[in-house]
Amino acid sequence: MQSTASTTEERLPLEPQGRDFPYYRGPCAISMSGWMVILVGVAAGFLVLVAPLPFADGLLSGWLRAALFVGLPLLALRMASPSGWTAIFARVGLRELKLMVVFALLNIIVSLAVGTVIKFFGTTTPNAAVADAAQLKGVRLLNFFSKVALQLLGEELITLLPFLALLALCRARVGLGRNVSVILAWLASAAAFGLVHLPTYDWNVVQCLVVIGSARLILTWAYVWSKNVWVSTGAHIINDWTLIASTAFLAPLATSV
């Protein structure tokens, strides 16, 4: 077993001392076969979210999709680590709430800056689901906000579980250093997150890899910093709710002027 000193010394500059990442070493380490189960759960959750249905999507089916999007990866994680599956979560106090706001604001700033540059040199595609929020009112708009929050937890899981899987692979199997493994997993999972958004943004590869990918780097940093999925999820929700609110409440005002 590694000493506490070696555990606390080997950290990235963007990562404070304290909790370490779970599952890549120690008694709660997940085997490669366990990681395969988790990745299958991640893929299944994503497919349930995006697969076309033989009938029109409605309120119930939308919530069912979002619930399975979250539930299937968590179920797979619990199967792979029955006693340690909650290690990706931690308590949420005032510090964690502040971190959510800080990383959300940082993400908004970075996304706006990168998006502006990309738009100047090329074209960007709007998110149709967010644009449609301008047509929603009252309970339907509240339902949309609520379902988005649940879905964003799923987005965190389908990014951070592969991130942890890649960390374990690079560290335990390939033998790379911890920090190198973290950086490679960070970059690869951000790129994958961008690519799964290709259908959402009309297959705009540059936008998905550069704009969405850079935003994902910030959101994953929230997890790297806190080792708490609730923090990255909270930052993600604040970011997306801000975008949706600006579309739902400001766009109608602009068109009425």
- Give the tens place of pLDDT for each residue, 222-242: 999 999 999 999 999 999 999
Assigned token pair, 200: 């959402």
Q: How many domains does the chain have?
A: 1
Task: Look at residue 14 in the predicted model and tell me its pLDDT.
Answer: 86
Task: Look at residue 17 in the predicted model and tell me its pLDDT.
Answer: 87
Phi then psi dihedrals of residue 18, to 5 deg: 130, -135
In sequence order, what are the residues at sequence separation of 6 or more whose Cβ sits closer than 8 angstroms to the Cβ of residue 144?
Answer: 133, 136, 244
pLDDT digits over 33-70, tens only? 999 999 999 999 999 999 987 776 778 889 999 999 99
Amino acid identity of residue 71, one-letter, is G
Q: Computed from CA positions of residues 151, 157, 159, 162, in that sequence, does the dihedral angle turn out positive or negative?
A: negative
Domain residue limits at 37: 4-256
Ranges of the chain whose pLDDT falls below 70: 1-9, 56, 250-257
CB-count exposure of residue 221 (10 Å: 0-12, 13-18, 19+):
buried
Report d(CA 62, CA 71) in Å as an integer.
14
Task: Look at residue 252 in the predicted model and tell me its pLDDT.
Answer: 54
Report d(CA 58, CA 53) in Å as an integer.
11
Task: Look at residue 4 in the predicted model and tell me its pLDDT.
Answer: 36
14 closest CA partner among 218, 176, 189? 218
